[in-house]
Amino acid sequence: MENTENKDNLLATINNPNDLKKLNRQELPLLSQEIRDKIIQTISQNGGHLASSLGAVDLAIAVHYVFNSPSDKLLWDVGHQAYAHKILTERKETFCSIRTFNGISGFPKISESAYDSFGSGHASTSISAALGFSCARDLKNENYNVVAIIGDGSMTGGLAFEGLQNAGYLKKKMLVILNDNEMFISQKVGAVSDYFAKIVTAEKVQKTENKIMEVINKFHSLSAPFEKFIRRAKTMFSPGMLFEEMGFAYIGPIQGHNINNLILILDKVKNMKGPVLLHIITKKGKGYEPAEKDPVKYHGIGKFDIETGKSFSVKNTSYTQIFSEVLIKLAQKNEKIVAVTAAMSEGTGLSSFAKTFPDRYFDTGIAESHAVTFCAGLAASGMLPVCAIYSTFMQRAIDNVIHDVCLQNLPVIFILDRAGLVGEDGGTHHGVFDLSYLKYIPNLIIMSPCDENELQDMLKTAFSVKKPCAIRYPRGAVTGVDLSRDYNILETGKAQVLKEALDICFLAIGNQVATCLKAAEILEKQTIKAGVVNMRFLKPLDENLLKELALKIKNFITVEENVIIGGLGESVKSCLCNSGVNVECIGIADEFIEHGDVNILREICGLTAENTAKKAFELLKKQITAF
């Protein structure tokens, strides 16, 4: 690897896209390698989305060479592939801080830079947003280009196709670049398709096509069939018929790592009228052999050794792993159990299930809404579907959870991985809303385990109740309890008293139970007897226990790694509103939490044993003062 800090290199001369345009085109491949080196060096120390960004370096250079950002609007779908974009747009010096607390975000972010036209983090949004920019431009009589850059994985999301069909109908001038690195559309790459792409972008071809259509349109009875014939004739040599039928001019596929060729084609594409889709083929992990060989592993990776590619992350047992192992054991005993995820087989732990039961595993692609309704269909047909999706991504399927699953009271089990604060991916990925957005749905049982044993029990319980259930748990290592005992079926809606209260009582759910137990130990040293209740269920809430406790204890503190609005705290306050007790709530405030080490974020949010103990001490002190 080359030293990217060398003052004589090309990257040292680039601070913004205007500097990039001063280079001659023969220098761009060298710049591309220097950017890849910088990305590899930084992500090896910080972790991040490596393979996708390496694959899109050449594209980022070509796009910024041709278009005039930030006047022209560049929208990067998801943002996994936007690291080179950040380096080229005045963030080269701060790139070393990416994904760290107070550093730059791992995703495009409007508040971070004028070059980030639209924030992203969830997939399939770029085309719809780009169409919004295009319509606003025309309404305001402005003149700029709009470019949506979307990966083939994001094209599996229904929102992308909703955007495509609307853009094709409105016929606004905009460019969609499909960055294809997983053979989403059959590949046809090489000199012939590159040559064909150059031909169909030539002004003569466009003018000829327009003149032919002008003549044909004079014969109204013939215009529709002839227009369809011309479109199909254009796409005989490429796989773009679908996009042409949706109203887009389709170009490609072309090789995505030939920067000069990309520039030639983009130069011509940007002058085309109406919506255009440019299909390019890239290699995920390009320029770093370990990532090229295993792009799944290096899609999102922690710190690693550059020479060997070996990760420095310690592989502790996680809730995800426990879920995976238990589900396989239960599925071995019940052939009706099936597993569904939305392009997250590795992240949700279902890859092992897929290997064990290939016929009972389904990956819907990045299509959470479809995944949920698909599960509803499975359940209505007598199967027992488990739908494993990250908490943040389940937000995209709320209507389906309500209308297709819970309204019909179908036994779908929702597994919400990465619940709570997730760390370096930041606001787009924190799973801090699920307790709130699920709580208001009738027929849905909501659980959160305090440890891995309880996760096993809750999964067993979910299969036994034959109702819609949601189980949410955090990212990261489990608590380390003994797993040798058999699974238990929990009494639905029943909480567990872990420590008897005398002065004050903590009511906690999920991973915050352990926080409260530590807080109780801190208070004991100050001769304060604090109780701890593992609520287990947000819904149904154990109202009987709460009211019993309220007869003996007058001070309660709820603790949850979820937004306070709509969460456990509000439910407890509602239950005890006429009991004459004091209820304080600890959780996520009404604001979006930035990215950074999860321990730093919990400290900021007050989700630590020390802060919880302090809150209890202050509440008791206030009561004594008032008395």
Fold matches, 11-293 and 496-626: yes
What's the longest Cα–Cα distance across the chain? 93
Q: Which of 172, 396, 499, 539 is catalytic?
A: 396
β-bridge pairing 384-390 and 445-447:
unpaired
* Residues contacting residue 275 through CB under 8 Å, at least 6 positions apart: 167, 168, 171, 172, 173, 174, 175, 176, 247, 248, 249
Tell me how crowded residue 486 is: count the other CB atoms within 10 A of its CB: 7
pLDDT tens digits along 215-239 = 666 665 556 666 666 655 555 555 6
Backbone angles phi, psi at 583, to 5 degrees: -125, 120
Q: Which of 36, 99, 172, 368 is catalytic?
A: 368
> What is the rounded CA–CA span in Å between residue 225 and residue 150?
32
> What is the rounded CA–CA span in Å between residue 216 and residue 346?
53
The one-letter code for the residue type at 101 is: F
What pLDDT was estimated at residue 554?
94
The percentage of residues in the chain with a pLDDT greater than 90, rounded to a whole number, is 79
Q: Which of 86, 173, 234, 284 is catalytic?
A: 284
Band (448; pLDDT cuts 50, 70, 90)? very high
pLDDT tens digits along 121-145 = 999 999 999 999 999 999 999 999 9
With beta carbons less than 8 A apart as the criterion, state whether 616 and 528 touch. Answer: yes
Band (187; pLDDT cuts 50, 70, 90)? very low
- 396 flagged as catalytic: yes
pLDDT tens digits along 583-612 = 999 999 999 999 999 999 999 999 999 999
Identify the bridge partners of residue 80 per DSSP, sorted by sequence position: none
Q: Can you tell me which residue has the tokens 């919004």?
A: 132
The one-letter code for the residue type at 274 is: G
Q: Can you tell me which residue has the tokens 């389709």?
A: 250
Q: Domains of the chain: which residue ranges?
A: 11-293, 319-472, 496-626
What pLDDT was estimated at residue 244?
87
Helix axes 259-269, 57-66, angle to 10 degrees: 40
Count helices and strands (H / E) in the chain.
25, 17
Q: Is 170 helix (H, G, I), strand (E, B) or coil?
A: helix
With beta carbons less than 8 A apart as the criterion, state whether 284 and 292 touch. Answer: yes
Q: What tokens were used for 95?
A: 């790139």
Q: Which fold has domain 496-626?
A: Rossmann fold (3.40.50)
For 358, which DSSP code?
Answer: G
Band (195; pLDDT cuts 50, 70, 90)? very low
Domain 11-293 has CATH 3.90.660.10: no
- 368 flagged as catalytic: yes
* Residues contacting residue 237 through CB under 8 Å, at least 6 positions apart: 188, 192, 193, 196
Q: What tokens were used for 190?
A: 């090489």
Band (194; pLDDT cuts 50, 70, 90)? low
Backbone angles phi, psi at 187, to 5 degrees: -80, 140
| Model confidence at 241: pLDDT above 60 | yes
Q: For the purposes of burial, counting CB atoms within 10 Å of the CB of 454, is it exposed (0-12), middle (13-18) or buried (19 or more)? A: buried
Domain 319-472 has CATH 3.40.50.970: yes
Dihedral in degrees, nearest 10, Cα atoms 592, 596, 600, 604: -20
What pLDDT was estimated at residue 216?
63
> What is the rounded CA–CA span in Å between residue 259 and residue 262?
5
